[in-house]
A and B are shown apart, each in its own frame.
Chain A
Amino acid sequence: MRLLRLVSLLTLLGLPLQSPAQEAPATDVPPQEELVQEELVLGLSQNRVAITANFDGSEILIFGAVKRAGPQLSPGADVVITVEGPTESVAVLRKERRAGIWVNTDQVTIHQAPSFYAVATSAPLEQVLTATEDLRQRISIPRAVRSISSRDEVTDEDSFVEALLRIRQGAGLYQMREGTVRFDEQTLFRTEVPLPSSLPVGLYTVKVYLLRNGALASKHETAIRVGKVGLEQWLFALSRENAVIYALMAIVVAVLSGWAASEGFRLLRRQ
């Protein structure tokens, strides 16, 4: 796995760098900043993560460079990389003690929560990013979770959101990786993001932000597909598309193996 990743990295580095990123929209550049032509070029160790029968987590290497048309700028540039899984809506339930028993009482629905979200930065986040820019680009983990609704009796929705972040951070599904982007000579950057074994499938978005004095200077985006392959994919598809056949198969396999074990033991005992 590691070897394969290295090989793909080498081939990627050997090849001419990928298509240039689109320029950052003019509105994203603060007016006080001198407008400089800066482009981000991005590479990934793999652009699809294949989940096979022996999948036990993985790691993705994200690397790239800042291409400049103009003269070298004064230092102060930072890079933030986010990896975001498919968005889903989740319910967060809270237990309370009622008549001595712990029961689920309150519920908050979060309509847009990424199933996986990792933020890697080249320096502590508060130094890299202003609060307004974070609000605008939705970079930090709490900003990535949005659209919250609840019934009237729930007044402390924030603690439900905090619980979601805490539980998912514990499971490695949300990761705050401050200072893990190595940024060399204001041009080359690289980082590694570990992927847990419970990685949700779907289309992931990798975003790279180039920031100057806390404001966005340039942005580039690419996609990774995380999907099951081979037998895993076949079984999954069968269970959704031909549920009746899948169900009968499950039952037949169970009955046959029970019978086979019984016969096998009988033969063993005879000897």
Chain B
Amino acid sequence: MQIYLPIAEVSVNIFLLLGLGGMVGVLSGMFGVGGGFLITPLLFFIGIPPAVAVATSANQIIASSVSGLFAHLRRRNVDLRMGLVLQAGGLVGSGAGVALFNWLKQLGQVDLLVNLCYVVFLGAIGGLMFIESLSALRRAKGGAPVKKRKSRGLVHTLPLKMRFRTSGLYISVIPPLLVGAAVGVLSAVMGVGGGFIMVPAMIYLLHIPTKVVIGTSLLQIIVVAAFTTFLHAVTNHTVDVALALFLLIGGVVGAQFGTRIGARMKAEQLRILLAMLVLAVCFKLALDLFLPPSEIYTIAEVL
């Protein structure tokens, strides 16, 4: 069954859209990532114009993240206070990121930079997570005592300490603010919610328990994605609500299943799966950069 999308101005199969949305929704609920880094390339692939794909995936991410967030809220897996602190840093970071993006645009080659950013970050984060969670899995299997983390790191010695009850932490607010800001910059430049950077940063830099990380990251993604949707719709008119609607019908349902699957799995298993997913996307993007394209010419709109 085909549907004509009013903003994208192409006609696509409804079930294809529902399936894509559902797949990304499952990932969103499982790992706390918005799935922007996954759905945008998939939309390009089915023939949606790139500008519409980027803007509309932000809109669909809101829906699947809200769906996942409510499920996590009921499990008390969301640290609202930590979310707010990260968000405060994130807003400052996004502002700086938009300025950086516009500056790069003037220099030209912004697409290339975004792609290189993706490959480097996805590769580094995916690789590190993969190695870490693999050794964590091995330790668990071997039955060897888990090495205790250094209990007094930098996060404990800095001033402005705050108690984060859900995460079970009593740490300085400066590291979460910095993490939020860094993710804000990256997500503005790369045009994604930043979940795949935020989740590892919260696990490894802030030592928040993995289950709490996922719920809290979803909260952060919703705000960023809503802001992005608004900006794209007002400035570029590229948000296609019809496309978003079909993606999010699949997405919200998928997110519920994802949350359920995630709850049944061990933290190490979740991390290793996310690492593999991130590495797979990284590999695909790297191939696009290095392999000769089938058509070296592209048609673009004149601005």
**Pair B6/A228 contact, Cβ less than 8 Å:** yes
**Interfacial chain A residues near B255, Cβ < 8 Å:** 258, 261
Choose the segment among A11-19, A74-82, A84-92, A175-183 that binds chain B (4+ C-beta atoms closer than 8 Å).
Answer: A84-92
**A261 vs B71: C-alpha distance in the bound complex, in angstroms?**
10
- Shortest A168–chain B CB gap in Å is 8
Interface SS of chain A: helix
Q: Decide if B249 is an interface residue (CB 8 Å cutoff).
A: yes
**A25 vs B238: C-alpha distance in the bound complex, in angstroms?**
45
* Given A197-B2, A258-B66, residue A92 in contact with residue B299 (CB < 8 A): yes
* Given A89-B302, A97-B292, residue A104 in contact with residue B111 (CB < 8 A): yes
**A104 vs B299: C-alpha distance in the bound complex, in angstroms?**
11
Q: Decide if A52 is an interface residue (CB 8 Å cutoff).
A: yes
- Shortest B225–chain A CB gap in Å is 8
Choose the segment among B120-128, B149-157, B228-236 that binds chain A (4+ C-beta atoms closer than 8 Å).
Answer: B228-236
* Given A198-B9, A262-B252, residue A247 in contact with residue B67 (CB < 8 A): no
Q: Decide if B4 is an interface residue (CB 8 Å cutoff).
A: yes
**Interfacial chain A residues near B302, Cβ < 8 Å:** 89-91, 109
**Interfacial chain A residues near B298, Cβ < 8 Å:** 92-93, 95, 104
B9 to A, closest residue via Cβ? A198
Of the candidates B3, B9, B222, B249, which one forms a contact with A53 in the assembled complex, judged by CB atoms under 8 Å apart? B3
**Pair B242/A103 contact, Cβ less than 8 Å:** no
* Given A201-B9, A246-B233, A253-B241, residue A262 in contact with residue B109 (CB < 8 A): no
**Pair B226/A257 contact, Cβ less than 8 Å:** no
**Interfacial chain B residues near A233, Cβ < 8 Å:** 6
**Interfacial chain A residues near B67, Cβ < 8 Å:** 257-259, 261-262
**A263 vs B256: C-alpha distance in the bound complex, in angstroms?**
10
Q: Decide if B293 is an interface residue (CB 8 Å cutoff).
A: yes
**Number of A residues with CB within 8 Å of any CB on chain B:** 60
**Interfacial chain A residues near B1, Cβ < 8 Å:** 54
**Interfacial chain A residues near B116, Cβ < 8 Å:** 101
Of the candidates B7, B244, B253, B292, which one forms a contact with A254 in the assembled complex, judged by CB atoms under 8 Å apart? B244
Interface residues of A (CB under 8 A from B): 51-57, 89-97, 100-104, 109, 160, 163-164, 166-168, 197-198, 200-201, 228, 231-233, 235-236, 239-240, 243-244, 246-251, 253-255, 257-263, 265-266
**Pair A198/B10 contact, Cβ less than 8 Å:** yes
**A236 vs B242: C-alpha distance in the bound complex, in angstroms?**
10
Q: Which residues B58-109 have CB closer than 8 A to chain A?
A: 59-60, 62-71, 74, 109
**A109 vs B302: C-alpha distance in the bound complex, in angstroms?**
8
**Pair B66/A197 contact, Cβ less than 8 Å:** no
**Interfacial chain B residues near A254, Cβ < 8 Å:** 59-60, 62-63, 66, 226, 229, 244, 248
Of the candidates B2, B4, B290, which one forms a contact with A100 in the assembled complex, judged by CB atoms under 8 Å apart? B290
**Pair A236/B70 contact, Cβ less than 8 Å:** no
16 interchain pairs, CB-CB under 8 A: A52-B4, A91-B301, A93-B298, A95-B293, A104-B298, A197-B11, A198-B47, A250-B241, A251-B230, A253-B63, A254-B63, A257-B252, A258-B67, A258-B69, A265-B71, A265-B256
**Interfacial chain B residues near A259, Cβ < 8 Å:** 66-67, 70
